[in-house]
Amino acid sequence: MSNDKLMKEFEAIVGAEGVMNSESDLHSYSYDSAVLDPRVPAFVIKPSNTDQLGPVVKLCNDNGLPITVRGAGTNLSGGTIPHPGGVVLLTNGLNKILEINEQDLYAVVEPGVVTAQFAAEVASRGLFYPPDPGSQAVSTIGGNVAENAGGLRGLKYGVTKDYVMGIDFWDVNGDLIKSGSRTVKCVTGYNLGGLMVASEGTLGVFNNIILKLVPPPKAQKAMMAVFDNIDKASESVAAIIANKIVPCTLEFLDNASLRYVEAFTKAGLPVDADAVLLIEVDGHPAEVAEDAEKVVDLCKKIGATSVHLAETAEERDKLWFARRNALPALARAKPTTVLEDATVPRSQIPAMVRSVNEIGKKYNVEIGTFGHAGDGNLHPTILCDRRNEEEFKRVEAAVDEIFDVALSLKGTLSGEHGIGMAKSKWMEKETSKATLEYSLKMKRAIDPNNILNPGKIIGG
């Protein structure tokens, strides 16, 4: 079908205002947050209700048009960079919260609902939706599910997949597939909803998502432990958990990050420290008080040079200020910020951080590392200027080696950012040839024309 004819067909489904194909509109959707080359689609389609999704997918399938579903475009692995000449399917107009059930503790949402807005709406009903990816102010639930997004609360509360009870999605024929239930227990058929989580738009197009809600903690306490040796910081993490305390947040900043944050904020951070841990415990007030005291004792016993416990909300904010400013501070240092999310078993954090620093020296690139110590999810952040080709080659080599090390420490390529285009070349290395084959066979069976976000995760 010619582009003009296709345009009319799309307009018949989503209306003229839902189809964009001017040069500047197409270029506006050629990129996401990943440091990768942009690719220009042929159409940008913006449905205004979920019933339009099926016909759009079917039209694309009938014409062999690749579809890349896009929410807010905050993807850090290139998962929302379109296939050249394909279709960008925008979901940010599908942003209705269909139900928040306070009795049965679940919610049903459309894929384009913004995460933070959803969490705020849930909180206003006295409930809690814990996943909190860094981009939550703009990221959408659909994107969070497609990437299995994480966040700062992963250690105690888990990640997005732990809150998905069911997903209804469209297959390539434009038929609606149902999975999961509004019940806590559901074993009806294959766990298709589970298959959709982290599928990065390669297996279906989300219609509605059922999410689990939990009661919020009644109290919390935050503290900062300063270490002159990164092994001691890591031992403290292990000791806290071994002592049967699971903090809701357990964050790590290395010396380079501390120095950048301090240069940017002048907040009085310990720039001589090798590492700091920012720890927050939450739950019942009595339990929180006891846990906080134990955490302080443990960190001191293992060798923290100081532990500061926040007594007021203001002090708590001050503590988190450093963590919140880690990325902005690093981002301001150089034009290009390559934010990785190599993840290792938490006992391997010292080895990982040491290796990252050695790799930085070896390739002569600046790297600051911060991240979620509690779940081993680190963010080595490389500061560079992409326009400097020679430097960027060194950056790419450094990234390759970072993943080599992560895998050698029995870690994983991605804790929370996804594979997308950026890391698909590594898939076989972490899994196996057979795993990739199995995945490809499944993909071919579900999507014979290979129109659902082709080239992502498993390549092809």
Partner 1 sequence: MSDLNRLASMLMELDDQMAACMKCGMCQAVCPVFAESMKESDVTRGKIALLEKLAHEMVKDVDEVNEKLNRCLLCGTCAANCPSGVKIMDIFMKARVIVTTYKGLSPVKKAIFKGLLDRPKLFNLLTDMGAVFGSPFMRSADKTIGTKSCALLTPLIGKRHFMPLAKRPFRKDYPSLDTERGESGLKVAFFPGCVVDKMFPHVGHAVIKVLNHHGVGIYLPENQACCGIPTLASGDLDTFLSLMRKNVEAFDGGYFDYIVTPCATCTSTIKETWPKMLDDANSDIKEKVQELADKAMDINQFLVDVVGVKALDHKAGGKVVTYHDPCHLQKSLGVAAQPRELLKANPDYEFKEMNEANRCCGNGGSFNLYHYDLSKKIGERKRDNVRASGADVVATGCPACMMQLGDLLSQSGGGVDVRHVLEIYAEMID
**What residues line the site for partner 1 (CB under 8 A)?**
20, 22-25, 27-33, 35, 38, 46, 72-74, 90, 92-93, 114, 116, 135, 137-138, 327-328, 331-332, 335-337, 385-387
Q: Which is nearer to partner 1, 80 or 424 (CB)?
A: 80
Contact 230, 350 (CB under 8 A): yes
Q: Which is nearer to partner 1, 41 or 54 (CB)?
A: 41
Minimum gap (Å) between residue 324 Cβ and partner 1: 10
Minimum gap (Å) between residue 170 Cβ and partner 1: 21
CA distance to 144, 197, 208, 237, per residue, from 204 (Å): 15, 11, 12, 39
Q: How many CB atoms lie within 10 A of CB 78?
A: 26
The torsion angles phi and psi of 232, rounded to 5 degrees, stand at -65, -35
Q: What angle do CA 251, 255, 256 make, to 5 degrees?
A: 105
Q: Which is nearer to partner 1, 91 or 236 (CB)?
A: 91
Contact 279, 250 (CB under 8 A): yes
Minimum gap (Å) between residue 281 Cβ and partner 1: 28
Minimum gap (Å) between residue 212 Cβ and partner 1: 25
Minimum gap (Å) between residue 191 Cβ and partner 1: 31
Q: Please state the separation of Cα 220 from the chain's center in Å.
A: 24
Q: Which is nearer to partner 1, 110 or 291 (CB)?
A: 110
Could you tell me which of 59, 66, 92, 95 has the C-alpha nearest to residue 81?
Answer: 66
Minimum gap (Å) between residue 91 Cβ and partner 1: 10
The torsion angles phi and psi of 452, rounded to 5 degrees, stand at -85, 105
Which residue is listed with tokens 């209804």? 168
Minimum gap (Å) between residue 162 Cβ and partner 1: 25
Q: Which residues have a Cβ under 8 Å from the Cβ of 78 and sit 6 or more positions away?
A: 32, 34, 36, 420, 421, 422, 456
**DSSP calls for 120-168:** HHHHHTT-B-----TTTTT-BHHHHHHHT---TTHHHH--GGGGEEEEE
Q: Which is nearer to partner 1, 33 or 369 (CB)?
A: 33
Q: Which is nearer to partner 1, 104 or 385 (CB)?
A: 385
Q: Which is nearer to partner 1, 140 or 199 (CB)?
A: 140
CA distance to 45, 52, 146, 203, 349, per residue, from 91 (Å): 9, 11, 13, 16, 37
Q: Which residues have a Cβ under 8 Å from the Cβ of 428 and sit 6 or more positions away?
A: 435, 436
Could you tell me which of 323, 399, 393 has the C-alpha nearest to residue 355?
Answer: 399
- Report the C-alpha gap between 79 and 363 in whole angstroms: 27
CA distance to 166, 212, 213, 278, per residue, from 185 (Å): 11, 12, 14, 36
Q: Which is nearer to partner 1, 105 or 339 (CB)?
A: 339
Q: Which is nearer to partner 1, 285 or 335 (CB)?
A: 335
Minimum gap (Å) between residue 246 Cβ and partner 1: 30
Minimum gap (Å) between residue 139 Cβ and partner 1: 8
Minimum gap (Å) between residue 37 Cβ and partner 1: 11
Minimum gap (Å) between residue 135 Cβ and partner 1: 7
Could you tell me which of 447, 419, 428, 440 has the C-alpha nearest to residue 81?
Answer: 419
Beta bridge partners of 378: 371
Q: Which is nearer to partner 1, 241 or 331 (CB)?
A: 331
Q: Which is nearer to partner 1, 22 or 124 (CB)?
A: 22
Q: Which residues have a Cβ under 8 Å from the Cβ of 210 and sit 6 or more positions away?
A: 106, 107, 108, 164, 165, 166, 167, 180, 181, 182
